[in-house]
Amino acid sequence: MRTPPARSPSPDHDPSGHGPPEDDSPVPAALTEPTRPVRAPWVAGICLANLGMWMAFFGPLQVLLPEQIALIAPDAKETALAWVTGVGAAIAVAATPLAGALSDRTTGRFGRRRPWVVAGAVLGAIGLVALGGQETVAGVLVGWSFIQGALACLNATLLAAVPDHVPVRQRGAVSGWIGIPQSAGVVVAVLLVTTVVSGTAPGYTLIGVLLVVCALPFALLAPDPPLPRSARPPWGDLLRGLWVSPRRHPDFGWAWLTRFLMQTGNAMFTLYLLYFLRDGVGYEELFPGSSAADGLLVLILVYTAAVVTTTVLAGLVSDRTGRRRGMVALSGGVMALPAFLLAAFPTWPMSLVGAVVLGVGFGVFLAVDNALVTQVLPSADGRAKDLGIVNIASAGPQVIAPALAGPIVVYLGGYPVLYTVCGVLTLLGAAFVWKIRGVA
């Protein structure tokens, strides 16, 4: 991996975490705007931590939860899965900005972010092991909700690490690298739980162990400048700060809405993909002896290859040109196309085409939108909290998607209508990115 040549560091901030003493600087090192490019080991560490987190999220969501619920409630699996994923996502929506706000206020020699990375990984692993032993829908719902809360702690702090340490001119490329584990996590997790182990309980346990193994190196080795107590945001503003006024910060508001609509379209697209292959495409009838999970794995592999091919390149282009909005809008148009194609042609060949096109569009969106969002944050002392609020636009669709997709599939026209709605929402989100004025 290549990074831009290093320039002279700012006297106020050194991403290595070993800058001048804080009392010699008017602004603490933890709160200054980074200027020195991060190096490959730092990027590799945060990528590995993200890989563990996304495996813990997508392994259950794509395979383990649908299979576990299908065994527990085979006649109502769609509704039960919607409840489990929806409630879990609601927990993540509430927990991520709250964990971020607490992280922003954490003082002590271990830094602001490190304690939350460790806690999120360890608690998430414990929850995954426990979830594997649940035999009721209620037990699965409680277990998945606990895991979502733990992963929210981990996610909030990993998100904040980018504006904490990465200069603006490098954020597109770094966001691209970080975006790869989000897609690779799906592939690795599905491979692990479908080929390496058999059964839901062993699958959950394996994913839990890997979550800790992947997250701890970054938590223990990455620099994390401590925040002095004198610079800590007031505790009295904690809950009030969870609301960011779109009138006072319109660019932040439009960036949030853009991501919310595009991620809602994407969440609805992927939520019932396993069931779509089984019931809409008839994959198991087309390929006797194979399961719909096998087809899902193929689509995920194709999709991930497309994401990996485009995400870092898109981030580099946006860094070099300094233009983010146009690339986000383009990615939305590309992501909407496969939704319309599957609505019209629900076949296995079209599913493969859709996986390629969706991967290309999402790869661009992943890198460039993440970089764009870091440029519209309201303040340096609330980075984790503000990115937690932005993350609601990613986690919130997991709540909205089941509420919208379930009735559409069951009562309002099935998968053709579902995928048409997905495409429309994605295009609408892409259009709103042009409302942002402070980013090119």
CATH number of the structural domain spanning residue 176: 1.20.1250.20
Cα–Cα distance for residue pair 111/109, rounded to 1 Å: 5
Cα–Cα distance for residue pair 91/141, rounded to 1 Å: 11
Structural contact between residues 324 and 318, judged by C-beta atoms closer than 8 angstroms: yes
Residue 440 lies in a domain: no
The dihedral sign for the CA sequence 333, 335, 336, 340: positive
Residue 43 lies in a domain: yes
The conformation of residue 26, written as its DSSP 8-state character, comes to S
Per-residue pLDDT of the chain (440 residues; tens, 9 = 90+): 444 443 333 333 444 343 444 444 467 878 888 889 999 999 999 999 999 999 999 899 888 999 999 999 888 888 898 889 888 888 988 899 999 999 999 998 888 999 999 999 999 999 999 999 999 999 999 999 999 999 999 999 999 999 999 999 999 999 999 989 987 888 889 889 888 988 899 999 999 999 999 999 999 989 999 998 888 988 888 888 888 999 999 999 999 999 999 999 998 988 888 889 998 899 998 999 888 988 988 898 898 899 989 999 999 999 999 899 999 999 999 999 999 999 999 999 999 999 999 999 999 999 999 999 999 999 888 889 999 999 889 877 877 887 888 899 888 888 999 999 999 999 999 999 999 998 98
Cα–Cα distance for residue pair 392/93, rounded to 1 Å: 5
Number of domains in the chain: 1
Residue 271 lies in a domain: yes
Kindly report the CA angle at 76 between 75 and 79, in degrees rounded to 5? 165
Cα–Cα distance for residue pair 273/267, rounded to 1 Å: 10
Domain containing 318 equals: 38-223+244-435
Cα–Cα distance for residue pair 350/283, rounded to 1 Å: 13
- Report helix, strand or coil for 337: helix
Residue 30 lies in a domain: no
- Report helix, strand or coil for 274: helix
Query: Could you give the C-alpha distances from 7 to 3, 4, 142, 168, 422, in angstroms and in order?
Result: 12, 9, 50, 13, 44
Residue 64 lies in a domain: yes
Cα–Cα distance for residue pair 112/53, rounded to 1 Å: 19
The token duo for 311 is: 């995400």
C-alpha closest to that of 117 among 30, 188, 53, 33: 53
C-alpha closest to that of 420 among 430, 402, 408, 437: 408
Residues in the chain: 440
Residue 121 lies in a domain: yes
The token duo for 361 is: 């569009």
Cα–Cα distance for residue pair 396/376, rounded to 1 Å: 20
Cα–Cα distance for residue pair 343/187, rounded to 1 Å: 25
Structural contact between residues 390 and 374, judged by C-beta atoms closer than 8 angstroms: no
Residue 230 lies in a domain: no
Residue 8 lies in a domain: no
